[in-house]
Amino acid sequence: MEDVGGEYFWELLSRSFFQPSSTGKSSKFVMHDLINDLAQVVARGTCFRLEDKLKDQEQHINLKKARHSSYVQDHWQGMEKFEIFYKAMHLRTLIPFLIPGYTQYHVANNVALNLLPKLRCLRVLSMSKYCISELPNSVGNLKHLRYLNLSYTLIEELPKSLGSLYNLQTLMLRGCQNLKKLPVDMENLIDLRHLDITDADSLEEMPLGIGKLASLVTLSNFIVTKNNGFRIRELGNLIYLRGKLSLSGLQNVVDPRDAREVNLINKGGLKVLSMEWSVGSDESQDRRVETEVLDMLRPHKNLEELHIKCYLGTGFPTWIGDPLFSNMLCISLQNCKKCVSLPPLGQLPLLKDLCVEGMSALKHVSYEFYGLCSTKPFPLLGTLSFKNMPEWEEWYTFGDSEEVLPFNRVCKLSIENCPKLLGMLPCNLPCLKNLEITECLQLLVEASTIFFPSLASIVMKDVSLTNLLVVLEMRNMLEDEVMLANASSVTSLSIGIIKKLELLLKWFTHGLMKLEELNITSCEELKTLWKNDARLQHSHPAFRSLEINGCPQLVSLLEEDEDEENEGQHQQQQEGLSCIVRLDHIKIDNCEKLEKLPRRLHTFNFLRGLHVYQCSSLSSFPEAGFPSMLKTLVIHDCKALQSIFGWVD
């Protein structure tokens, strides 16, 4: 049925009956204005839109004949608004229009109690985002109901009468975080095709007999409870499942044969599969069982996304990374704390996103990660992330071999909290745009050899530059001549908690030609940003925004010669200033030793905003005053600062 409906929709889309929404979301479509006007004319008498008030008698007549109605939700709605629907005895559809920006709506407690008994012909009912904690038993009298949406409500328990809605096809309970259980008679809903309990985090178990709902196409989650691990077998009867499926509580499956009965390998409609074990599961139990359970849960080769969380086996089954999964686009492995190696994910030809997080026992990422049968591993990988790997020491990256180039399509690389990781980054990443390195004190970032021609954003936090300096000295390179090689596309640079950093950007003299934004945080030994000389004017001519926070040793932004009598020296300093006078935004926060701002601040003709906070040593501004175009000046908690009125025109 869904396939036929989809064909009809795409046919109408191709004929411009529908068109993509201007919001940019690929899953949203709208009617063209002319088509909408025509539809309203054709549907007059059967479709009714309740605006704020009913304005004339004709609308009252339309309401009596209406089969489908909608209304605009208000933040608070009393019974008065809904009394008009008492006359709509034959109403089949009642749907509210949500107001953008509102997460929940309040409605009087008696609305559902009084309204539902009068709308016995309803097929479609939505009460999504209403702050209701219960649904009246009278909902069970809506025998024709096909679609019920209670998403993002405060409901704790559904009425037992819900089990008598034999024609119900769709039950939406997404985001019902207070919901603890489903009706025990849900097995009676034999026509149910879609059950969405995504983010219903308080739900404790699945109702007995859910395997009898043989028509189910969508089942967002299945929860396996303690002492009932065998009930996972019920999924084997749901042969039409498609879309997304999340299996949680898998530590409660004690017999791998129960997992085999789920028969995921024959459910070709599933595109996204999540498998989760409990964070606090008993680590003393036999881990071979978990490995066998995961092996038995092998999905169909059509799968596109795989997420494994809190799995405590020591290794992964062979199907993970099998090149037969030729449609696999995204994989995440989270908190698999006992695994000592990664599966051969490089063999997946279409893999685009990979996240490895919290693998505490992993020490080496070596050949097996790339796959034995793969000549060019990870051919389409675009995003690669490693996080929270406390024991990870070695990453084999093939060096600068042009024959392999395993990450030649990677656009975003993130390495976070890997304190023991040694060695270097992959040195040839031609498509890399975003690089983030955080809390990796031993990782070697060899700036003179990396090749990142597409790099647009760098974030470095809690990274030691000691190894970098050693490499530069061994190559007999002068610090003032070293640049961040092949990073000419960088527009945004964020630096934080960099050790041994006293003078900023003496390594980047010519390497950041397109830099627009610079953010510096918690560099405790940083004393000044630049040496003032003529070469500075060539370093980053597009420089627009500068923010500095928590640099306690920072004394000045720019080293300046106080003696202006030497005309040549004066000219050289003016040339050196040329790259930063284009700044339009400067923010300095919590730099307690900052004594002064650039003496020629008044020549910063593009500066629109200057914000200075908690700089206790700053006593005055330059004698020449502020730039003429300055629009915003914020000074806060600078205790030594004298009156600024002498500097403000």
Across 45-63, average pLDDT: 63
Report pLDDT for 337: 94
Instruction: Give the phi and the psi of residue 460 in degrees, each rounded to 5.
Output: -125, 125
Question: Is residue 111 within a helix (H) or strand (E), and if so which, with residue range?
Answer: helix 110-115
Residue with more model confidence, 455 or 347: 347
Tokens linked to 345: 């994910």
- What is the C-alpha to C-alpha distance for residues 283 and 292, in angstroms, rounded to an integer? 16
Q: 116 Cβ partners below 8 Å, 6+ apart?
A: 122, 136, 138, 139, 141, 142
User: In whole angstroms, how far apart are CA 542 and each of 174, 575, 580?
Assistant: 47, 15, 9
Across 95-115, average pLDDT: 81
475-527, pLDDT tens digit by residue? 222 333 333 444 556 677 777 777 667 776 554 545 566 778 888 888 888 88
Report pLDDT for 427: 73
Report pLDDT for 127: 92
- What is the C-alpha to C-alpha distance for residues 252 and 312, in angstroms, rounded to an integer? 13
236-248, pLDDT tens digit by residue? 999 999 999 999 9
Report pLDDT for 379: 92
Cα angle 174, 179, 183 (rounded to 5 degrees) comes to 100
Alpha helices in 454-545 (DSSP H): 466-474
pLDDT tier, 200 (very low <50, low <70, confident <90, very high otherwise): very high
Helix, strand, or coil here: 558?
strand
Q: Which amino acid is at 49?
A: R
pTM of the model: 0.78
Tokens linked to 43: 């549907």
Query: Could you tell me how far CA 187 lies from the centroid of its own chain?
Result: 36
Report pLDDT for 467: 42
Give the DSSP per-residue string, 464-475. B-HHHHHHHHHT
End-to-end CA distance of the chain: 74
- Of 151-165, 245-259, 295-309, 429-443, the one with minimum mean pLDDT is 429-443
Q: Where are the domains of the chain?
A: 1-42, 485-649
Q: For residues 253 and 294, is the Cβ–Cβ distance under 8 A?
A: no
Question: Is residue 364 within a helix (H) or strand (E), and if so which, with residue range?
Answer: strand 364-365
pLDDT at 474 over 70: no
CA dihedral of residues 615, 619, 625, 631 (deg, nearest 10): 30
**What is the pLDDT of the chain when averaged over all its residues?**
83
CATH match for 485-649 among 3.90.550.40, 3.80.10.10, 1.10.1060.10, 3.10.20.90: 3.80.10.10
pLDDT tier, 20 (very low <50, low <70, confident <90, very high otherwise): confident
- What is the C-alpha to C-alpha distance for residues 229 and 205, in angstroms, rounded to an integer? 11
Q: For residues 477 and 448, is the Cβ–Cβ distance under 8 A?
A: yes
Residue with more model confidence, 487 or 50: 50
Ranked by mean pLDDT, the top range of 9-13, 18-22, 23-27 is 9-13
User: In whole angstroms, how far apart are CA 164 and each of 137, 157, 167, 216?
Assistant: 11, 16, 9, 17
Report pLDDT for 577: 59
Residue with more model confidence, 494 or 234: 234
Q: For residues 439 and 461, is the Cβ–Cβ distance under 8 A?
A: yes
Report pLDDT for 82: 81
What's the order of all strands across the beta sheet hosting 218-219? 47-50, 68-72, 93-97, 124-126, 147-149, 170-172, 194-196, 218-219
- What is the C-alpha to C-alpha distance for residues 115 and 205, in angstroms, rounded to an integer? 31
Q: Which amino acid is at 589?
A: D
